[in-house]
């Protein structure tokens, strides 16, 4: 009941992890469960390591934060919050520097001589004369202010406006990532010709920051039997972090890169109606427009949409809880979810040169956009005050859809993860 309310806190986290990808030679003698298997300068070794990225990452995260809300009047409230983050990140390569590859050399233009080139392109003499990886350390910091203002225009109508800054720490890719891309992707014939540009992957990536503005209202009618709200928003993201897979003769490379600037503008609508005490209906949707404004990693993607950002999302449905006598209730629900067209990469509706196909043909990515889809779920059963027995169905229309698409533009294809088809089951619950 105080006019001024505040809170403050501290946060600390330590993370230690190892990340590695081993591309091994299939000698037909099975697989050795180890991230690194030396070939000892001989052929026929079980699953001998041919290419390897392997790093240990240590992270110390510290944050302090606070917020304050002030009731300026009975109808107007102002709020402010501030958070400071500091992340100290360290990285050290664990790749043996004296290990050599049997088949994969130091790039397309390097003569092939077995057991002479290192198993990580970042150790190749032309890019790293020392033949050693140096430990890395970098600190990422950010202040994140937020301000809000709400106004109860009427007892049934509240308007609000807010602005806030977001932060995601930068970090390190596996050492040798940049050299791998430069040697096996950027050296492919045609990669720098015409409209094509080299892929600017680095061994580290920058912090991501965003500024978000939102304006909207919330309202209710008939003592909250009908509730609805709407808002418009605009987000500018600087150095948006994007995770992608790169595939080639070197195997598989997983990296984080930065898209220099992305802007997103949209509108959200939602509502809920309870016509009786036993029936509840709801619906909500989001429609947005996004655009890549600048991208130094892939300059030819400027003007494309933000990856992993559907054009629209929508959900609607209802549920019932109807008394049947003897403390029993009929329980049921039906809901629909729709997701609009979605790109999963900055490369959209374009071609990319690839050395993976005969004759260095281009990969075609105009078909890499996921189509819009709709899913329906249902539940029907009986229950009491503290128990229920329900038959449920998920994706009851047996819609074929893709949960995720992972394009690999320079490989000439995409990895797809099919979504779950129709699934039925029985669920029993007891609350005690």
Q: Rounded CA gap, 106 and 17, in Å? A: 28
HSE of 421, CA atoms in CB hemisphere, 13 A: 2
Q: Does domain 4-276 have CATH number 3.40.50.10190?
A: no
User: pLDDT at position 190, please?
Assistant: 63
- Which residues are 213's β-sheet partners? 163, 234
- Under DSSP, the state recorded for 358 is G
Which residues fall within 8 angstroms of residue 211, CB to CB, at 6 or more apart? 163, 164, 165, 166, 235, 236
Percent of the chain clearing pLDDT 70 (strictly above): 96
What SS3 class is residue 183?
A: helix
Average pLDDT, the chain: 92
Note the pLDDT tens digit of each residue in 186-216: 887 666 566 678 899 999 999 999 999 999 9
Q: How far apart are CA 81 and CA 6, in angstroms?
A: 9
Q: Which two tokens stand for residue 376?
A: 């329906």
Opening angle at CA 238, ends 236 and 241, nearest 5: 115
pLDDT in the model for residue 127? 86
Higher pLDDT: 107 or 138? It is: 138
CB-based contact 233:265 (threshold 8 Å): yes
Q: How many CB atoms lie within 10 A of CB 325?
A: 6
Q: Phi, psi at residue 119, to the nearest 5°?
A: -85, 0
> Would you state the structure tokens that stand for residue 141, as one six-digit string?
């910091």
**Residue 156 pLDDT greater than 60, yes or no:** yes
What pLDDT, on a 0 to 100 scale, did the predictor assign at position 82?
99
Return the bridge partners of 21, or none.
Answer: 53
* DSSP reduced 3-state for 182: helix
Q: Give the model's pLDDT for residue 189.
A: 67
Angle at 376 between CA 373 and CA 378, to 5 degrees: 170
pLDDT at 359 over 60: no
Nearest to 94 by CA among 49, 125, 132, 48: 132
pLDDT band at 360 (very low <50, low <70, confident <90, very high): low
Sorted by where each begins, the domain ranges of the chain are 4-276, 312-432
Taking alpha carbons only, the member of 22, 15, 29 closest to residue 99 is 22
The predicted pLDDT at position 259 comes to 98
Q: What tokens were used for 259?
A: 């898209």
Return the ∠ at Cα 93 (arms to 88 and 95), rounded to 5°: 165
Could you give the CA distance from residue 155 to residue 74 in angstroms, rounded to a whole number? 11
Tell me which of 387 and 250 has the higher pLDDT.
Answer: 387
Rounded CA gap, 13 and 423, in Å? 39
Structure-block tokens of residue 65: 């934060």
- CA-based radius of gyration for the chain: 27
Q: Quick check: 402 pLDDT over 90? A: yes
Q: For residue 417, is pLDDT > 70?
A: yes
Distance CA 286, CA 266 (A): 7
pLDDT at 339: 98
Q: Enter the pTM of the model.
A: 0.90
CA distance 156 to 228: 11
In the numeric block, which tokens belong to residue 375? 């899913």
Give the highest mean pLDDT range of 71-85, 110-124, 403-417: 71-85
User: Which pLDDT value is given to residue 194?
Assistant: 61
Q: How far apart are CA 124 and CA 117, in angstroms?
A: 7
- Over the stretch 88-99, which tens digit does the pLDDT of each residue have? 999 999 999 999
Contact of 56 with 16, CB cutoff 8 Å = yes
Q: What is the separation of C-alpha 166 from the centre of its chain, rounded to a whole number of angstroms?
A: 16
Query: Among the listed ranges 30-39, 223-232, 331-340, which one has the minimum average pLDDT value?
Result: 30-39
């Amino acid at each position: 009941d105080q006019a001024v309310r505040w809170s403050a806190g501290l946060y600390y986290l330590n993370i230690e992890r190892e990340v590695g990808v081993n591309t091994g030679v299939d000698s037909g003698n099975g697989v050795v469960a180890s991230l690194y298997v030396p070939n000892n300068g001989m052929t026929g070794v079980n699953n001998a390591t041919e290419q390897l990225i392997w790093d240990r990452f240590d992270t110390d995260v510290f944050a302090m934060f606070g917020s304050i809300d002030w009731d300026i009047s009975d109808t107007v409230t102002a709020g402010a919050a501030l958070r400071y983050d500091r992340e100290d990140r360290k990285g050290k390569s664990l790749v043996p520097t004296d290990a050599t590859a049997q088949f994969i050399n130091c790039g397309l233009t390097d003569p092939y001589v077995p057991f002479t080139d290192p198993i990580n392109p970042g150790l190749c003499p032309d890019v790293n004369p020392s033949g050693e990886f140096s430990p890395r350390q970098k600190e990422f910091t950010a202040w994140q202010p937020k301000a809000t203002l709400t106004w109860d225009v009427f007892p049934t109508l509240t308007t609000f406006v807010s602005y806030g800054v977001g932060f995601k720490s930068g970090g390190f890719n596996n050492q040798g990532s940049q050299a791998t891309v430069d040697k096996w992707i950027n050296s492919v014939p045609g990669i720098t010709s015409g409209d094509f540009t080299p892929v600017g992957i680095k061994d580290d990536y920058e912090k991501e920051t965003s500024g978000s503005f939102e304006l909207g209202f919330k309202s209710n009618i008939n003592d909250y039997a009908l509730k609805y709200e709407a808002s418009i928003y605009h987000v500018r993201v600087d150095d948006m972090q994007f995770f992608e897979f790169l595939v080639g003769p070197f195997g598989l490379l997983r990296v984080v890169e930065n898209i220099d600037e992305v802007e997103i503008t949209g509108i959200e609508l939602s509502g809920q109606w309870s016509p009786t005490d036993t029936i509840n209906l709801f619906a909500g949707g989001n429609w947005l427009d996004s655009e890549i404004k600048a991208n130094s990693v892939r300059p030819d993607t400027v003007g494309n949409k933000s990856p992993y950002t559907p054009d629209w999302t929508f959900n609607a449905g209802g549920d019932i809880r109807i008394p049947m006598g003897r403390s029993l209730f009929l329980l049921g629900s039906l809901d629909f979810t729709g997701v609009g067209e979605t790109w999963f990469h900055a490369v959209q509706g374009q071609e990319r040169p690839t050395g993976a196909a005969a004759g260095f043909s281009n990969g075609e990515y105009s078909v890499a956009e996921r189509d819009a889809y709709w899913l329906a779920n249902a539940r029907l059963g009986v229950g009491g005050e503290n128990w229920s027995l329900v038959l449920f169905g998920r994706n009851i229309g047996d819609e074929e859809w893709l949960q995720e698409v992972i394009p690999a533009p320079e490989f000439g294809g995409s990895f797809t993860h099919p979504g779950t088809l129709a699934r039925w089951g029985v669920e029993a619950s007891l609350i005690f």
